[in-house]
Amino acid sequence: MDLDRLVSGPAASGAVVQVAGLSHWYGAGSMQRQVLQSVDLAIAPGEVVLLTGPSGCGKTTLLTLVGALRQVQQGSVRVFGEELHGAGRASRQRLRRRIGMIFQGHNLLRCLSAEQNVQMGADLLPGLGYRARRDRAREWLRAVGLGDHLNKLPHDLSGGQKQRVAIARALAARPQLLLADEPTAALDSRSGREVVDLLKGLSREQGCGVLMVTHDPRILDVADRLVQMEDGQLSQGARPIE
């Protein structure tokens, strides 16, 4: 498959994500704690990278920095060729429109139905009318096994169902980069496999880079590379999945 043909913009000619010498701290003064130490990482178009490691080692912090949700303190983070170190709020907001994010908190709007929550993702696509956005939302909900839950509000859904709505919302926006934090944590083995297969298909069909934090040993086979983090540092030489 010609991934360069599928992806437009700066990411087509190189890495979707290029991280170099990234360090990050929380707190100040005597309470300051370093959570990332000189992290280097690159993700190519269409590549699925799984990030593993113990809780509290800095995995989610790395995800939020790559997703332009935090300001870069030290080092370089380039996404789609744009430097995030020193980038203003407006630049980071514009960049986030091209990034799909799946976090454990779901972040669904309680007053909107499952269909309406997913349609918010499709709303980011230019040139789509209301009917097309609605149809896209329904297609993705069916793809994650929630075709009969379109009109349910979040409080009527289980934790696993909320997670699948959040996944459908992220995918509905046709992102060029997908960041996922434990996307299968609330799912059973069958649902988890279906979801990661969807993410793998997205990466291949749309040339979307995927960075996924996981502790789930059942899904390691979907990755092109497995990267280990410990104490804020990545292991030397990310190894390919056999």
DSSP string, 170-229: HHHT--SEEEEESTTTTS-HHHHHHHHHHHHHHHHHH--EEEEE---GGGGGG-SEEEEE
Residue 151 has pLDDT above 70, yes or no: yes
Residue 12 has pLDDT above 70, yes or no: no
Q: In terms of pLDDT, which residue wins out, 237 or 151?
A: 151
E-strand stretches of the chain: 17-26, 33-43, 48-52, 74-79, 82-83, 99-102, 177-181, 209-213, 225-230, 233-234, 239-240
- The Cα–Cα gap between 144 and 168 comes to 7
Domains and CATH numbers, the chain: 1-98+183-242 (3.40.50.300), 106-174 (no CATH)
**DSSP 8-state symbol, 106:** -
For residue range 170-219, list pLDDT tens digits in order: 988 889 999 999 988 878 888 888 888 888 888 888 889 999 999 888 88
Q: What is the mean pLDDT of the chain?
A: 86
**Low-confidence winner among 24-28, 61-65, 104-108, 234-238 (lowest mean pLDDT):** 234-238
Residue 5 has pLDDT above 50, yes or no: no
